Amino acid sequence: MTQHDTAEAAREFLERTGLEPTLNRILVLSAVAAGQRPMTAAEVHARILREHRINRVTVYRILDLLAEKGAVNRFSTNERVQHYCVGSNHSHFHCTGCGRVQCIANEKLHFDETAVANALNLAVSHVDLHLEGLCPACARAAG
């Protein structure tokens, strides 16, 4: 799934995934897809609340369902907070200063899937590296 921010794209994606495209599911998936970085369930809820009424438990339940169906990525940082984002085969950077997480295209890591697959003798089909450190703002503050 590529980044998108339209309800129509979310509806089509849900149908392809075999999920009934209910309004709440469309709202949740659109909110995650529109995010500039991975969001926590609380952040997804807050984003939807700007324009729609939706209950927190509903958002959490739908996020779980979407993650189980592979419609969104779900991963946790070492703070045990679940984050959600869209897009396949990419890695994540977690800033240990401010706690923010961002998606990193594997191409930016000069990552060679074939070389790793050969080295490990494993048929690697998906790579999601977990990177940790300080974002530029936190690195400046740490001086």
Determine if 85 is a binding residue for Zn ion (CB under 5 A).
yes
If the CB atoms of residues 3 and 22 are measured against Zn ion, the closer one turns out to be: 3
Q: Per-residue DSSP letters for 46-60? A: HHHHTTS---HHHHH
What letter represents residue 14's amino acid? L
Q: Which of 111, 75, 110, 80 is nearest to 93 (CA)?
A: 75
Least distance in angstroms from the C-beta of 3 to Zn ion:
10
If the CB atoms of residues 66 and 135 are measured against Zn ion, the closer one turns out to be: 135
Is position 98 annotated in a ligand binding site?
yes
Is position 85 annotated in a ligand binding site?
no
Sole binder of Zn ion in the list 76, 97, 130, 132 (CB under 5 A): 97
Q: How many residues bind Zn ion (CB under 5 A)?
A: 7
Residues 6+ apart with CB under 8 A from 63: 28, 32, 41, 44, 72, 74, 82, 84
Q: Which helix (H) or strand (E) holds 75?
A: strand 73-76
Least distance in angstroms from the C-beta of 128 to Zn ion:
8
Is position 103 annotated in a ligand binding site?
no
Q: Give the other-Cβ count within 10 Å of 64's Cβ.
A: 15
| Interacting residues with Zn ion (CB under 5 A) | 85, 95, 97-98, 103, 135, 138
Binding site per annotation, positions for Zn(2+): 95, 98, 135, 138
